[in-house]
Chains A and B, each alone.
Chain A
Amino acid sequence: MQRTVAVVGTDAVAEAMRQINPDVVPAYPITPQTAIVETFSEMVADGKVESLLINVESEHSAMSAGIGAAAAGGRVMTATSSQGLALMWEMLYIASGLRLPIVLANVNRSLSAPINIHCDHSDSMGARDSGWIQLFSENGQEAYDNTLQAVRIAEHPEVKLPVMVLLDGFIISHSVDRMDFLEDEKAKKFVGEYVPENPLLDAKNPVTWGAFDGLYGHYFEFKRAQQQGMLNAPAVIKMVGEEYGKISGRPYGFFEEYQMEDAEFAVVALGSAAGTIREAVDNARCADMKVGMIKLRMYRPFPAAELVQALSRVKAVGIFDRSDTFAGAMGGPVFVEIRSAFYESAVKPLMSNYIYGLGGRDLSFGLIEKAFSELDDAARTGVVKEKVNYLGLREGEVE
């Protein structure tokens, strides 16, 4: 029997970490760290988990210690948020370049300036080209489920890449939600034993990690090999998601399609917004609006072909982005990539971008309905009025 609990999202991730029982958890213990590490440190202190918890002086050091511990042969996990992920930047690329299967839970929060601690995807979207697999979670349950699966995906011999599990700041991290936890034994069996590759602590087979390549110049070849891990990842993520479904009753794929069968227009969203949008879809369906939703879970690697297939049936698509690329008029990152994915496609829907929720701005039903109504118009008239829209932005004189 799974345990049904009501906990905050950060405790859901900490519980998954307890069941995984990683060898080493290096973490920065204070702001912008979240309660993931606070709860986990209590578990360590209470002897509920055997992990070595290393409190380090910065997130840069957290990832550095994680890389060292992973090269040594340990199963490594850590957690961060916002500026903390930004401070890890340099080391994120080293973890993926060395093909170390580290799992990181990132609580999605905005990046300064101005200083703001609330939810958006600026932190994780900035790391989208760092060579990490990225899995977004809609709620605490998914954050827990994704964390368990992340270990299997990262450590798979065809992948060997670090994985970032993403959960929205406050909306998921600090909100109590009902969820089910697997039995400890089932979770442990699913995650399995870790067999490291070329561990530094194997004194009988001495190896070198992180050597200088600049003189012979094989960097290009290593980067191509790294991409192969990403190219192999979808099949593994699918396999792990199906296997997880068998033991939990909650199967996972690249994305979830909601009311897409007969949809005339659709929206694409990541993270907690999908929950609100699902309700809005239900409401709109009552008003005979044929709208569907795609909730994107796997953002890296990007499931381009599958998204094109799922979206080519509709007349108009609204892409919801909780961050901006600041590339001028290009729109948010999800918009840019979905548009790019459609380039070869003969049939393509009209597309518009809704940038919303920056710095924790609420996404209300009213705002979603506004987007639905504009998309409905586009689907009927064949014209997109505004390509990039800022949903919920105060403009002009606000009364």
Chain B
Amino acid sequence: MTWDYSDMKKWGWQKHPRGAVIPQAGTADDYKTGGWRSQRPVLDKEKCINCFFCFIYCPDTAIVVEEEDMKGFNLKHCKGCGICAHECPKDAIAMVDEIKAKQQDEAASA
């Protein structure tokens, strides 16, 4: 069974699960914490040695790894805490200003 809570903001008090229980696992995936970010991690793939320290330390499971290769960051969940940049033994992750990064993204897509 999948718990459909897509319109939860419209729910009356009768519809919520008793005792505020979340009756399903994995719902944190829908909780986009990326909006909290003021600093954005940027990967320099030239320096990265795929040690996965960042993967281990990330408190939000926001490091994207495919086939044992560090691919970058899940920016929908990355809160910009900078732990990955701090722990990286090769200084392959830089923290940049989120607003500037956003402006650059918009300029690039325009």
Contact of A213 (CB < 8 Å), options: B14, B20, B27: B20
A100 & B19 in contact (Cβ 8 Å cutoff): yes
Does A210 sit at the interface, judged by CB under 8 A? yes
Tell me the smallest distance from the CB of A19 to a CB of chain B, in Å. Answer: 27
User: With A216-B8, A216-B9 in contact, do A221 and B23 touch (Cβ < 8 Å)?
Assistant: no
A160 & B23 in contact (Cβ 8 Å cutoff): no
CB within 8 Å of A: which B1-21 residues: 8-9, 11-14, 16-21
Main secondary structure of the interface of B (DSSP, over half): loop
Least CB separation from B20: chain A residue:
A222
User: With A198-B23, A206-B25, A207-B24 in contact, do A160 and B18 touch (Cβ < 8 Å)?
Assistant: yes
A160 & B19 in contact (Cβ 8 Å cutoff): yes
User: With A216-B9, A218-B11 in contact, do A225 and B21 touch (Cβ < 8 Å)?
Assistant: no
CB within 8 Å of B: which A202-232 residues: 205-211, 213, 216, 218, 220-222, 224-225, 228
Does B65 sit at the interface, judged by CB under 8 A? no
A221 & B22 in contact (Cβ 8 Å cutoff): no
B12 & A208 in contact (Cβ 8 Å cutoff): no
Listed in ascending order, the chain A residues whose CB lies under 8 Å from chain B are 97-100, 160, 197-198, 205-211, 213, 216, 218, 220-222, 224-225, 228
A218 & B16 in contact (Cβ 8 Å cutoff): yes
In the bound complex, CA of A100 to CA of B19 (Å): 8
Q: Which residues of B contact A100 (CB under 8 A)?
A: 19
A207 & B18 in contact (Cβ 8 Å cutoff): no
Q: Which residues of B contact A209 (CB under 8 A)?
A: 19, 21-22
Tell me the smallest distance from the CB of B18 to a CB of chain A, in Å. Answer: 5
User: With A207-B21, A211-B20 in contact, do A222 and B13 touch (Cβ < 8 Å)?
Assistant: yes
A-B contact pairs, 14 of them (CB 8 A): A98-B20, A99-B18, A160-B19, A198-B17, A198-B23, A205-B23, A209-B22, A213-B20, A216-B9, A218-B8, A218-B20, A220-B13, A221-B11, A221-B16
Q: Which residues of A contact B27 (CB under 8 A)?
A: 208
Beyond the given A99-B18, A208-B21, could you list 15 further A-B residue pairs with CB under 8 A, ordered by the A residue number? A97-B19, A97-B20, A160-B18, A198-B21, A205-B23, A207-B23, A209-B19, A209-B21, A210-B20, A218-B8, A220-B13, A221-B11, A222-B13, A222-B16, A225-B14
Tell me the smallest distance from the CB of B38 to a CB of chain A, in Å. Answer: 17
B13 & A225 in contact (Cβ 8 Å cutoff): yes
B25 & A207 in contact (Cβ 8 Å cutoff): yes
Tell me the smallest distance from the CB of A102 to a CB of chain B, in Å. Answer: 12
Q: Which of B8, B11, B12, B20 has the largest count of A CB atoms less than 10 A from its CB? A: B20
In the bound complex, CA of A216 to CA of B10 (Å): 11
Q: Which residues of B contact A220 (CB under 8 A)?
A: 13
Please list the 3 inter-chain residue pairs (A to B) with the smallest Cβ-Cβ separation, ordered nearest first: A99-B19, A206-B25, A221-B13
In the bound complex, CA of A216 to CA of B16 (Å): 13
Q: Which residues of B contact A99 (CB under 8 A)?
A: 18-19
Q: Which residues of A contact B18 (CB under 8 A)?
A: 99, 160, 197, 225
Tell me the smallest distance from the CB of A57 to a CB of chain B, in Å. Answer: 26
Q: Which residues of A contact B23 (CB under 8 A)?
A: 198, 205, 207
Q: Which residues of B contact A216 (CB under 8 A)?
A: 8-9
Q: Which residues of B contact A225 (CB under 8 A)?
A: 13-14, 16, 18
In the bound complex, CA of A221 to CA of B16 (Å): 8
Q: Which residues of B contact A206 (CB under 8 A)?
A: 24-25
Q: Which residues of B contact A198 (CB under 8 A)?
A: 17, 21, 23
